[in-house]
Structure 1
Amino acid sequence: MTRVHAFTADDVLGDLDAVGIARAIAVGDFTAVDAAEAAVRRLDAVEGELAAVAFDDRERALGRAAENRFSGAFAGVPTLIKNNTAYAGLPTQQGSAAVPARPAASHEAFTEEFLGTGSNILGASTMPAFGLTATTEFVDRAPTRNPWDTGFSCGASSGGAAALVAAGVVPIAHANDGGGSIRIPAAACGLVGLKPTRGRTAAAKASSNAPIDLVSNGIVSRTVRDTAHFLADLERQRNVDGLDPIGLVEGPSTRRLRIAMVSEPLTDQPLDADTARELAAAAELLTASGHRVDEVPIPVDRSFIDHFTRYWALMAFSLDRFGTRLIDPEFDRSRLDPFTRGLSGTFLRSCYRLPSTLLGLRRATARFRAVFDEYDVILSPTLGHTTPEIGHLDPGGDFDEIFERLVRYVAFTPADNVCGTPALSLPLGRSTTGLPLGIHFSADRGDERTLLELAYELEAARPFARIQDA
């Protein structure tokens, strides 16, 4: 096992979370320049092994730190933005050589929100081509590796963000989620990963006009506190019509919850022993804490897999056939990776089913949300099995084989993207090989507060494993 991290007692960041760093800067314990310089040194210490940065923007970040005009919950905190989100001056290449490395002319809406928290962006984090798979691997460059063990996947599509936060380079990083892309890498890298309710954060530019917008912007973090402060600070910036405010959640609730536990994936393949053991342990912990846990069938039927994968394939087809209009006039479809091309072909062969696909997804939404008439939270594993080794989901491999593996792995997360419901992965488990293992919680639309209160309770009851201690 090759473990890589940058935690050290010899710089100002220590093992502080983002709230801790911002508070230390505010009271003068150290400066934003000190924080940025420490993060840059940490990045240089691990980037050669992790390969988690798509574009380095340290010079501008150091200049902003010197000016120190930050405001917000994370004022002066170093971080990164995911490379599918426009940040003026950096190319938004989306993990693909098909997209020209043309610097963005302006920020998109979520970037403005993220900067509004006071975050200081050091660069852009890596992601697989267009975020279409669940590992941050490529056909034309080195993979981004899991800092807990560099032979394993860091998840995706927010893989670079998760690797850098887990390795201690930065305390938080931007992530977004269209089928599990916050929660999957959070589970693989031992982080807190909350996908907000659809509309809670500014929509992703690339998906905002889709028939069903699957994508929610957020962050990955090492503490529940950072995720809670992130959401509260975004609420400070703007009101969200149709959603109850969350407020700043600062600890657990005394309310005991009704929890529906799902342990059988739609794929009909049983959970591996590690995942089943850690899910049972989480249920036991919740029961011992006074929550009611009932095992229930997964609240969508087998057709959901076909509907979701067909809709997912539509995104690849749109890029393949209309990339010059959707992405950039110089988009080069000849440089698309085999997985994206294979997924595009999957849609083309069944495009006539798109109307029934949309209807099926809307019916699945109604069935999934009906669970919350009786229960407050749905509990499941984050993923269908433990984190795979690099190569298991190789985007250059045989498409049919890789896609079958992907469906098995990403067995629990997509329903919340279709339904627009908030969902959270917490690093409550460990595999027998010592890798983190995520446990997943879903709530009804707008109910992030319940998830955060429960997360605080579980974090205190079973403190999350730290890479620097393992």
Structure 2
Amino acid sequence: MDPNLTRRAFLEACVGVGLVACNAAPFPVAATASEDLDALGQAEQVRRGAVTPRELAEATIRRIEALDGPINSVVTRFFERGLARAEAPLPDGPFRGVPFLLKDLNDLVGTRKTMGSRLFADFVSTENSPHTQRSLDAGLVVLGKTNTPEFGLVATTESALLGACRNPWNRAHSTGGSSGGAAAAVAVGILPMAQASDGGGSIRIPASCCGVFGLKPSRGRNPKAGPKRAVDISVKHVVSRSVRDSAAFLAVTERTDSGAPLPPTGVVRGPSDRRLRIAFHTANAYGQEAHP
């Protein structure tokens, strides 16, 4: 990140993404100087006064409008709500003022949550999920929700309700799933980080398909989903442009209460002093060996 990046240069570069998108073929994955800023880099620009949260939100909205049409990653948009939050006092978290997208499996009060299903096409959340609330407490500005297959159950992102999400690198290829909308939005340059979830590969598969960073935290690190779910095998996190964004997001969303099943990780800033032991096996549940 260029510490001398001015507000004008930042916004001009963001607008330039849309101009590139209108004139390039095949569909571009933009990479200008400002587009290289990760979420922590954008938050630092806000802290320094180089850019305001509203300006960041407006730039992201322009990128959604310029880039997302052929990709179909952002399926629910509430831009005015996001802009209003960007202008209001924000929590002084590590991502204060940074634009954000939620996967369409998550509750944000007053917004549509379809879960990719026609059964819930008009469902509106009446409360924030615990993980959504922690994201808001970190200072993030939510502008919409991303594509997911029905109930997030398959490893491709396509549904009868929301349609297929296309891979920005090659629109004939899959984004993977079920967090394909989030991974595509980050990969195409809409924003540096988007919320995702993973029960059996739903962060890791799209991250691999779309060329972004995806970590599945251990089960038990997320805040409890509440009494409505006796068992929840899915964990919530993000796909991101940088490893440090993923580490910082985990630090602000992980459980730190006395009943947490795992000790807090905190902010990981570099390699551990301890050597790690990693176990793996090559056979599946039926005893079949993986192809070498």
- Could you say whether these structures have the same fold, taking a TM-score greater than 0.5 normalized by the shorter chain as the test? yes
Q: What is the aligned partner in structure 1 of residue 75 from structure 2?
A: 54
Q: 1:153 aligns with which of 152, 174, 177?
A: 174
Q: Which residue of 1 aligns with 2:9?
A: none
Aligned: 1:252 with 2:267:
no
Give the alignment of 1:225-264 within 5 angstroms: 225-235=244-254, 238=257, 241-260=260-279
- Say whether residues 1:4 and 2:28 are aligned partners: yes
Contact 1:85 1:205 in 2 (8 A): no
| Deviation (angstroms), 1:251 | 1.1
Using the alignment, how far apart are the partners of 2:78 and 2:56 within structure 1?
Answer: 15
Distance 1:83 1:206, change over 3 A: farther
Q: 1:246 to 1:140 in 2, by over 3 A?
A: closer
How many residues are treated as equivalent by the alignment? 267
Q: In structure 2, what is the equivalent of residue 39 of structure 1?
A: 60
Structure-1 residue corresponding to 2:285: 301
Compute the displacement of 1:70 (Å): 3.1
Q: Which amino acid aligns with 2:233?
A: L
Q: Following TM superposition, by how much is the alpha carbon of 1:80 offset from its aligned partner in structure 2, in angstroms?
A: 0.3
Shift in CA distance, 197/66, structure 1 to aligned 2, threshold 3 Å:
same
**Residues 240/142 of structure 1: CA separation in 2 closer, same or farther (3 Å cut):** same
> Counterpart of 1:88?
109
Structure 2 residue corresponding to 1:134, chosen from 155, 158, 175 = 155
Instruction: Answer whether contact 1:90 1:104 (CA < 8 A) is retained.
Output: yes
Greater RCO, 1 or 2 (C-alpha within 8 Å, sep 6+): 1
Question: Within 5 A, what are the aligned runs for 1:369-380?
Answer: none
For residues 240 and 194 of structure 1, the distance between their equivalents in structure 2, rounded to whole angstroms, comes to 23
Paired residues of 2:117 and 2:150 also in contact (CA < 8 A): yes
Q: What's the TM-score, normalizing by structure 2?
A: 0.83
Unaligned runs of 5+ in 2: 1-24
Question: TM-score, normalized by length of structure 1?
Answer: 0.53
Structure 1 distance, partners of 2:227, 2:155, is 19
C-alpha distance in structure 2 between counterparts of 1:49 and 1:174, whole Å: 21
Q: 1:6 to 1:61 in 2, by over 3 A?
A: farther
- Equivalence map 1:315-394=2 (5 Å): none
Q: What RMSD over aligned residues (CA atoms) do the two structures have, in Å?
A: 2.6
Is the 8 Å Cα contact of residues 52 and 125 (structure 1) preserved in structure 2? yes
- Inter-partner Cα distance in structure 1 for 2:237 and 2:228: 15
After the TM superposition, which residues 68-467 of structure 1 pair with which residues of structure 2 at under 5 Å, given as runs?
68-140=89-161, 142-204=163-225, 208-210=229-231, 213-235=232-254, 238=257, 241-260=260-279, 297-298=281-282, 301-302=285-286
Q: CA deviation at 1:7?
A: 4.3
**CA distance in structure 2 between the aligned counterparts of 1:159 and 1:64, rounded to whole angstroms:** 26
- Provide the rounded CA distance (Å) in 2 between the counterparts of 1:162 and 1:239: 33
Aligned equivalents of 2:55, 2:204: Cα separation in 1: 31
2:264 alignment partner, SS class: coil
**Maintained 8 Å contact 1:165/1:220:** yes
Percentage of pairs with the same residue: 42
Amino acid at match of 2:159: F
* 5+ residue gaps, structure 1: 263-296, 305-379, 385-470
Q: Answer whether contact 1:88 1:107 (CA < 8 A) is retained.
A: yes
**CA deviation string 1:249-299 (max 9, x = no partner):** 111235444445x6xxxxxxxxxxxxxxxxxxxxxxxxxxxxxxxxxx426
